[in-house]
């Protein structure tokens, strides 16, 4: 087994013990990236990565990210490296600055080896809409299954052993759903906990920086580095950053968990129900109190519509700068209208155009009250309900998705309860801006299934404490994803 298949913690130990150097590790990661079979990359940064890794010669024992290779989703600005967000509208766009998270990782001496594919402009959840085509789930070597999106390439890169962690972004579930399909830990902290400066906006009231790791320890130490106030991002929080890994070994006895009954009831996959029920018993065995609570089916089945109205409206407004003048290549035209028309007609896929049509329609003066403002009011109701549940409980616990990664040919019935509730509930964490983490639960025929815990705002430390306890119960920690077949729950 290569070091690249292990967790951040184990790779760090190997680097400190000088079993391997950052340059050797980087070269191996680059080699694996070039051998990638999942279509995970927009750009492999051979020269930049090797040059940086070569400067890392003295191991830093108290810096857990020293010399660790990673992958960044291609919607983070990277100075001097083309960044397209997998959209033709940004072909040739080379940012002149690094996103704050990229800067922080550089300062922590982690080595960015590649930029990963995404659903175009981070909209979508299938990993199929980017300009490079489908990204495949490495857990299915026949390439029949999706890895989910929009952070498809980042999930695939970690799952196929190119790097032990990868940055993603999460507006509705774009880290936490692919994490479930990939058998990884997928984390999105509280809104404002990580600066979004340099992350291409999709829907800023919902956008979060998130990331994939192989274990909870990795997720916690990464937050130590990424979190914090940033003067470039007025929405970043001034709350002090904590040592997020401090409580990982502490017992969870006495904690209270709420399971959303309507969501569990809408899951038709019997295997998942069985494993999920076993996990509840295991949590109870640790002294955790588990309550099944109602959320209201009407409210839950309105999540998707509410999300689509708000996110498309915000995206339409934010992406107005992609006009062939401010951003995007000139594709002909004499007047501003013509230039914009040509750039946008050629630069966006049908999928994106459809979302802009929805967004513009919801924002039209005559429709605002009925659509946009109504969705905002419904969001407020949803958030109120989430916070009411979290008043009496430390966490909300649910399956992260209705089952294993779907086949590309599988079309879901978009009006079924399973789709409306079981497939779309992770956006609760974006509506309310709460920390939320997906963890591997089990494997069905070699394909992973994940669960999700969501906690109170800024209680990431406690969320990691619970996650670490869960990871001990599931037995799915600190191994490469290809070895993760024997779950305990």
Among 311, 349, 452, 467, binds ligand GLN (CB under 6 A): 311
CA distance 72 to 146: 19
Q: What is the DSSP string of 222-240?
A: HHHHHBS-BTTBTTS--SP
Run of H or E including 282: helix 270-285
Please tell me whether residue 127 binds ligand GLN under the rule CB under 6 A: no
77, 150, 195, 436: the catalytic one is: 150
Stretch that binds ligand GLN, among 39-47, 122-130, 291-299, 330-338 (CB under 6 A): 122-130
Q: Please choose, from the candidates 170, 155, 64, the residue with its C-alpha nearest in 3D space to the C-alpha of residue 481.
A: 155
Query: Are 262 and 300 contacting, i.e. CB atoms less than 8 angstroms apart?
Result: yes
Query: Are 94 and 81 contacting, i.e. CB atoms less than 8 angstroms apart?
Result: yes
**Cβ-count burial of 163 within 10 angstroms (0-12 exposed, 13-18 middle, 19+ buried)?**
buried
CA distance 237 to 229: 5
Among 138, 164, 172, 328, binds ligand GLN (CB under 6 A): 172
Which structure tokens are listed for 32? 């694996």
Among 173, 269, 417, 460, binds ligand GLN (CB under 6 A): 173
Stretch that binds ligand GLN, among 92-100, 133-141, 168-176, 468-476 (CB under 6 A): 168-176
- Residue 73 is a catalytic residue: yes
What residues contact residue 232 under an 8 Å CB cut-off, 6+ apart?
Answer: 100, 195, 197, 198
Cβ nearer to ligand GLN, comparing 164 with 172 = 172
Please tell me whether residue 310 binds ligand GLN under the rule CB under 6 A: no
What SS3 state is found at 299?
helix
Nearest approach, Cβ of 175 to ligand GLN (angstroms)?
Answer: 7
Cβ nearer to ligand GLN, comparing 75 with 236 = 75
Query: Are 7 and 440 contacting, i.e. CB atoms less than 8 angstroms apart?
Result: no
Nearest approach, Cβ of 174 to ligand GLN (angstroms)?
Answer: 3
Q: Please choose, from the candidates 242, 184, 193, the residue with its C-alpha nearest in 3D space to the C-alpha of residue 215.
A: 184
- Residue 174 is a catalytic residue: yes
Return the residues of window 345-374 that contact ligand GLN according to CB under 6 A. none
Please tell me whether residue 76 binds ligand GLN under the rule CB under 6 A: no
Nearest approach, Cβ of 118 to ligand GLN (angstroms)?
Answer: 8
- Residue 37 is a catalytic residue: no
CA end-to-end span of the chain, whole Å?
Answer: 25
6, 9, 73, 474: the catalytic one is: 73
Nearest approach, Cβ of 170 to ligand GLN (angstroms)?
Answer: 5
Cβ nearer to ligand GLN, comparing 202 with 295 = 202
Cβ nearer to ligand GLN, comparing 228 with 429 = 429
Return the residues of window 185-204 that contact ligand GLN according to CB under 6 A. 202
Cβ nearer to ligand GLN, comparing 70 with 202 = 202
Give just the sign of the alpha carbon dihedral 239, 244, 249, 252: positive
Q: What is the DSSP string of 361-379?
A: HHHSHHHHIIIIIHHHHHH
Which residues are identified as catalytic?
Answer: 73, 150, 174
Give the interface with ligand GLN as residue ranges (CB under 6 A).
Answer: 122-125, 150, 169-174, 202, 311
């Amino acid at each position: 087994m290569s070091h690249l298949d292990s967790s951040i913690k184990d790779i760090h130990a190997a680097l400190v013990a000088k079993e391997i150097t950052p340059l050797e590790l980087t070269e191996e990661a680059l080699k694996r990236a070039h051998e990638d079979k999942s279509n995970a990359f927009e750009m492999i940064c051979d020269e930049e990565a090797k040059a940086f890794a070569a400067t890392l010669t003295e191991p830093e024992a108290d810096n857990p990210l020293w010399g660790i290779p990673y992958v960044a989703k291609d919607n983070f600005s990277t100075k001097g490296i083309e960044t397209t967000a997998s959209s033709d509208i940004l072909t040739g766009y080379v940012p002149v600055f690094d996103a704050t998270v990229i800067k922080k990782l550089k300062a922590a001496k982690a080595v960015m080896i590649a930029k990963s594919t995404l659903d175009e402009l981070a909209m979508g959840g299938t990993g199929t809409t980017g300009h490079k085509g489908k990204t495949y789930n490495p857990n299915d070597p026949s390439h029949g299954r999706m890895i989910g999106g929009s952070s498809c390439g980042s999930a695939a890169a970690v799952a196929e052993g190119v790097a032990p962690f990868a940055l993603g972004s999460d507006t509705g579930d774009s880290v936490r759903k692919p994490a479930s399909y990939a058998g990884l830990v997928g984390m999105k902290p509280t809104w404002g906990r990580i600066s979004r400066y340099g992350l291409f906006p999709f829907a800023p009231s919902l956008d979060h920086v998130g990331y994939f790791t192989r274990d909870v320890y990795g997720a916690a130490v990464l937050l130590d580095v990424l979190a914090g106030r940033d003067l470039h991002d007025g929405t970043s929080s001034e709350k002090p950053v904590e040592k997020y890994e401090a409580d990982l070994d502490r017992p969870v006895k006495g904690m209270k968990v709420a399971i959303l009954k309507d969501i569990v009831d809408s899951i038709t996959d019997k295997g998942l129900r069985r494993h999920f029920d076993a996990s509840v018993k295991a949590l109870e065995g640790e002294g955790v109190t588990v309550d099944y609570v109602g959320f209201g089916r009407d409210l839950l089945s309105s999540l998707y519509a509410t999300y689509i109205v708000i996110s498309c409206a915000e995206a339409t407004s934010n992406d107005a700068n992609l006009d062939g003048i401010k951003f995007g290549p000139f594709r002909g035209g004499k007047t501003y209208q013509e230039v914009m028309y040509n750039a946008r007609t050629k630069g966006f896929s049908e999928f994106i155009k459809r979302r802009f049509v929805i967004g513009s329609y919801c924002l039209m003066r005559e429709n605002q009250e009925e659509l946009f403002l109504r969705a905002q009011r419904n969001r407020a109701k949803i958030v109120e309900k989430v916070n009411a549940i979290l008043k009496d409980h430390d966490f909300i616990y649910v399956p992260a998705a209705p089952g294993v990664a779907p086949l590309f040919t599988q079309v879901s019935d978009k009006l079924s309860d399973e789709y409306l509730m079981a497939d779309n509930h992770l956006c609760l964490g974006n509506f309310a801006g709460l920390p939320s983490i997906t963890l591997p639960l089990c494997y069905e025929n070699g394909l992973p299934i994940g669960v999700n815990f969501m906690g109170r705002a800024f209680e990431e430390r406690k969320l990691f404490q619970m996650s670490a306890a869960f990871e001990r119960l599931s037995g799915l920690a600190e191994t490469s994803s290809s070895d993760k077949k024997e779950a305990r729950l």
